[in-house]
Amino acid sequence: MPEEATKVSAEENAARMKRKRCEGSGETCSPADWIRQEDCPVGIRNVGNTCWFSAVIQSLFHLPVFRRLVLNYCLSERVLEKCKSHSEKRNIAFMQELRCLFALMVGSNRRFVDPSAAVELLRDAFRTSEAQQDVSEFTHKLLDWLEDAFQLAANGNNPEDKQNNPMVQLFYGTFVAERLHEGKIVSNIEQFGQYPLQVNGFNNLDECLEGAMVEGEIESLHSDQTMSSGQERWFSKLPPVLTFELSRFEFNQSLGRPEKIHKKLEFPQVIYMDSRYLHKNVDQTHGRRGDVKRLKDQLTVLQQKLEGYKNYGSGPTKYPLADMLQYVLEFATTKPTNVSPASVPTNPPVHTEPSSGDSRQDPFSSTQKTPIHKPFTQCRPPMEVPLQPAPHSVNEEELYFVRSCLQRWRAEVENTVNELKASIDKVSQALEGMYSDNSLCQVSYRLHAVLVHEGQASAGHYWAYIYDHANKRWLKYNDVMVTESTWEELVRDSYGGMTNASAYCLMYISDKLPYLIAEDTDDETGQALKGMDSLPSILRRYVREDNRWFQQELREWEEQFCQAQCEEVHTEKPIPEEPQNPEQEPNPEPAQEQTNEVSGEPPTDSTPAPVQDSEEENQAMATHSQPENEVSEVEIPNVGKILVRSDADGYNEEMMLTPAMQGVIFAIAKARQVFDKDGPEAGLIKAFHEEYSRLYELSQEETTPQQDPRLQHVLVYLFQNQAPNRVIERTLLEQFGDRNLSFDDRAVSIMREARSKIRLIKPEDMDMDEYLQWHDDYSMFKTVFAYLLTGLEQYQNGKIREALNYLAHAHQDNSVLLRKGERKGVDQSLIALYRRKCLKELNENAATLFKSPDANDVAEALTIMNECIIPCMHLMVRDSVSQEDLDVIELIRSCWCSYLGQDMDDSLQEKLSEFLPRVLDCSAEMVVLKEPPKVRKSPHDLCSRLTAVMESIHLTSVVTVK
């Protein structure tokens, strides 16, 4: 690829990624979500039902030998000139796009890359748009193109000679098909790539293989012929990479549609192919197969005999024979009685004893004169009747005969059962060891990748589990998400039989060929080459150019994000100017709290206001500082303090005080003596230290479910997050410079002193961008809290859809804060818990409505899924999802997948097929959360609501905050 073309391709890829990211993320996403973490593999974006492509490409890319082949793919000019056909040009173009994709997966700074260019070429070949095709068909086409492209590089003169084709050498093997014809053995050699195996009728991979090798039918991948049954097949040449295609889809003739086979099928991490499948061991294997057949027949007879003893009886209900003999023995030996139920008296005589230690006698005592009536169940004595059935009469001779027979028979049955179990264990061990001796365990293959499908035949999602050979761990590749996994998780998702997920392709690699997983090494030093060092120079430049575009995109995104945040926080209504004429009477109406133009809320105590001090302003302040004015405070529950100023004429002016203003007023009051003695500057310093100390002590208080000190003041938030001292000090100075403190001479003087000190702060002394960012974080923190509390209140009031919307926004914004620091956000577990509760309840409601005969109910179900559940699921998968969240997502998927097998109207089936792929594939579309209504987020209000909501949660009763 020429250098100029590489640069252009990098620009196109950057533009495509930027466009896709904007579409898929919405405006609330942080650029940090799209940055690759150190040593973390790169994901692949789903560009519309292409999760199968991501799974296949990831399994191939993480095979180092194949990755080297693609990255170093090169055609000479002579070969390029001879490539005239459309298919050759298409294959070359596909290889170029695949090289670029692999290069980005090696060295990109992005968390995931976009495969659109390569995918579009495949789609064009099928003449399809967004429809999800058969993954097997797509995969075969992909491998065929790769084979043809490498054939051009391997031997351009002779396309028929494929001996030097690296794809053939790596992925293709041969098997021998033998059958008996007119007394002679007729054999035929076939080549295979992905070896198909039937799942139905088998329990594990060895049974599948043996069934395919001995009697099953196997379809040739390179011809239209199908081998007849009864043949024997033997692998004559095994490829280094051995791929098994599990046939988990079949066509239901009666229903006229494909169905998925969910049967459980086990497979091992290591499989030995020479134990029974290689042609060179045909004689040895034939003898063992005869022994295996005899042992299996013997095992079947033994198991049938044991089953007869364990489930005995001629009726529909059967029991273990030994237990039945024991029960009959217990019946025969139970003491007989001559008392019949009819002879039991209604009021039996009572046997009593005098009570001791009490002046009162027992109610059943014969000496008691006054009867005390107790409930029948309390005073009724036990009847002398047997607890178990018993013979009415039995003599000693009969009892001796019955007991001896039953005891002997029971002992015989127990001995027989034990002998059968021992024989079954012995035969089973012989079967297990039939192919496990060292002579037949030399050709080992280790599991490299498992490709998984979740859903039904008509709709589903694909991902891959791939073994990280360098770090000895399993990784899960689910489109853009790459997470560390375990063998237990792989088994749960891949064996089938438990959920709608199961493996459809297994990729094993030879254990005897270390070059398959060996990393590139430097020719001179012999050291392993990693990252960008392993790329050819032209691809290295391509990746660096793409990373440069990505960095530029991040800068643009952050600038836009910060600008939007600043505009939202700082856009306020202009402060009305005070009358400039000292003789002019003040506005007779009470002073109202300023409101934010965007949210319609009072301005937060965290948002700094510009400091301006003019002569006109000083005059305005003077009109509010008459010495004869009296100032008093009135506290209103759940609202805050109101400052009441009374002038000489008896006129009262009221003004609401925020918690920050209350603290400043109290601090100024404590500094009164210092102010009177040493002047305004000393008074400001004293009041400043008083308030600073109070807030610092408040920040040291422990956070409880009912109280969070950060809500009470921005400085508590700054202290707990270890903000720089210059940010803390300026923030507190801004509090003392608040114009609303002009209620007496002392407050006005301290306010002026504070504002003059703020003006002395030079740009080089204070990074205002950093200062504003801290206040923006606090504003978002309060927004998150408001979303959380509103969501919990809505949930308790039964408004689940509204609650989910608030909680989803709270979780998203809180994730941004928590990435900056642990104390910058809210406890994420509480948000996640109630988000899961809302999702489950909403999904149950939607599932019920969907099956309703009322069209309006069905429409409501679709609205819930499309506007609430699916967007929230997609955001959950995109984030670092917890196991509890994954369980809820799997519950929702299983719920809707179960509808596929049910009979329903064609219209319902069509609606289900429209949104089910989006339920199963959580990375294939843009994520748009409905914006919630504006919320109240003043600190005092949040404190009261937090206490009420948490008390409601713990008391399990709804508490309303007025």
Alpha-helical runs (H) found in 41-134: 51-61, 64-71, 77-82, 86-107, 116-126
Supply φ then ψ for residue 246, to 5 degrees: -85, 125
Q: CA 819, 822, 823, 825: dihedral to nearest 10 degrees?
A: 50
Extract the tokens encoding 224: 């239209």
How deeply is 263 buried, as exposed, middle or buried, from its count of CB atoms within 10 A (0-12, 13-18, 19+)?
middle
Residue 301: what residue type?
V
Residue 939: what residue type?
P
Residue 88: what residue type?
E
Supply φ then ψ for residue 779, to 5 degrees: -65, -40
Supply φ then ψ for residue 561, to 5 degrees: -65, -45
Maximum C-alpha span of the chain: 129
Local structure of 634: helix, strand or coil:
strand
Q: How far lies 448's CA from each of 94, 130, 241, 413, 815, in Å? A: 25, 30, 9, 49, 34
Catalytic residue from among 51, 872, 922, 943? 51
Extract the tokens encoding 28: 């609330």
CB 246, CB 265: distance < 8 Å: yes
Bridge partners for 430 per DSSP: none
Extract the tokens encoding 189: 């050699």
Strand 444-455 and strand 501-510: the pairing is antiparallel
- Strands across the sheet with 184-192, in order? 184-192, 173-181, 232-237
Extract the tokens encoding 129: 């748009």
Closest CA to 55 of 446, 488, 501, 469: 501
Strand 241-247 and strand 194-198: the pairing is parallel
For Cα atoms 666, 668, 672, give the angle at the middle one, nearest 5 degrees. 115
For Cα atoms 161, 162, 164, give the angle at the middle one, nearest 5 degrees. 110
Q: How far lies 56's CA from each of 104, 135, 143, 878, 933, in Å? A: 17, 10, 10, 21, 43
Strand 257-260 and strand 270-272: the pairing is unpaired
The label of the residue with tokens 């690699």 reads 509
Active site residue 83: no
Closest CA to 608 of 720, 745, 739: 739
The label of the residue with tokens 């509390």 reads 789
Q: How far lies 167's CA from each of 59, 66, 170, 212, in Å? A: 15, 9, 5, 25
Strand 112-113 and strand 43-44: the pairing is parallel
CB 812, CB 929: distance < 8 Å: yes
Active site residue 40: no
For Cα atoms 238, 242, 244, give the angle at the middle one, nearest 5 degrees. 125
Mind spelling out the 3-state secondary structure of 254-303?
Answer: CCCEEEECCCCCECCCEEECCCCCEHHHHHHHHHHHHHHHHHHHHHHHHH
CA distance 779 to 949: 21
Count of CB atoms within 10 A of residue 660's CB?
24
Catalytic residue from among 62, 448, 453, 461? 461
CB 466, CB 926: distance < 8 Å: no
Give me the count of residues in the chain. 962
From the centroid of its chain, how far is CA 450? Answer: 19
Give catalytic residues, as residue numbers: 51, 461
